Copies of this chain bind each other. A is one copy, B any other.
Amino acid sequence: MHQPHPALRQPVTAADRVLLEIQRAIVEGDIAPGSKISEPELARRFDLSRAPLREALARLERCHLIERIPNAGARVVTLSTKGLLALYQLRENLEGLACKLAAEHMTEAEISEVRQLLDQHLSSQRVREGESYYQEAGDLDFHYRVILGSKNSYLINILCDELYYLVRMYRVQLGMNGPRVSRAFDEHKAIINAIANRDGELADLLMRRHIAASRRNIEQQLEQMGT
C-alpha cells in the first residue's frame, strides 16, 4: 500500500477530532459560508475547552476554510467565481506538475494500484449510476494517489492539506454531477496511461485539461446560482 501521509493520520488529540468535525460541517455547508465563528458557542457544542478549539481554528485557517482577524474573530469563507478561478488556476499548475513528477517517480506497483482503483470505481459507478458522492470520493482518491506519487512533500502538503478541503467545498456545495461523471473516468484512465508510459509532458497536459473541464463545470453551476 502507499504510505500514509501525515495529513491522513487518524486523530489522536481532541483538537484533531474537533477539526475533522468542523471541517466536515463547513465543507458540507452545515455551517453556512460567510457566517461568524463563535469560539464559546463551538466549545459548548463540541463539549471541550477553547484551547483545543483554537488549535483547530488555526488549522482551518491554514486550509482556507475560515478567515481570522486578530481580536475580531473568524468567519467561514464565502464561495465566489473569483475565488474558484484563483483556486483552479493554481490546481491546474500544481496537479500538472504532480503528474509530471509522478511519471518520473511512481513505482510500477503504485501505478497498477491506481489502475485497480479505477477499475473499482468503474464497476461501482455502473451500479450506483449518478450518485455524486461516490464520484466525489473516487475522483479525489485518484487525484490523491497521483499527488502522493509525485514524492514531493511540499507539493503533497499544499494540495492534500491546504487546498483540497476548499476544492471539496466548492464541489459539494455546488453539486458535482451531470455528464462529466462518466467522462472523468476516461480522463483518469488517459492520465494514468501517460504516467505508466513515463510521458510526464503528456500527463501534465491531460491533467491540466481534466481540471480545466472540471472548473468549467463548477463555474457553470455557480453562475446558474448567481442568476
Interface residues of A (CB under 8 A from B): 12-13, 16, 51, 54-55, 58-59, 62, 64, 70-71, 83, 86-87, 89-90, 93-94, 97, 101, 152-155, 157-158, 162-163
Residues of B near A16 (CB, < 8 A) are: 70
Q: Determine whether the beta carbon of B12 is less than 8 Å from that of A152.
A: no
Q: Determine whether the beta carbon of A86 is less than 8 Å from that of B155.
A: yes
Residues of B near A87 (CB, < 8 A) are: 154
Q: Determine whether the beta carbon of A93 is less than 8 Å from that of B97.
A: yes
Copies of this polypeptide in the complex: 2
Give the CA-CA distance A97 to B143 in the complex, in Å.
21
Q: A13-B70, A62-B62 are in contact. Are A90 and B154 (CB under 8 A)?
A: yes
Residues of B near A155 (CB, < 8 A) are: 86, 89-90
Q: Determine whether the beta carbon of A152 is less than 8 Å from that of B93.
A: no
Q: Determine whether the beta carbon of B12 is less than 8 Å from that of A71.
A: yes
Residues of B near A64 (CB, < 8 A) are: 154, 157
CB nearest neighbor in B for A152: B86
CB nearest neighbor in B for A54: B55
Pick from B55, B62, B93: contact of A93, CB below 8 A: B93
Residues of B near A55 (CB, < 8 A) are: 54, 58
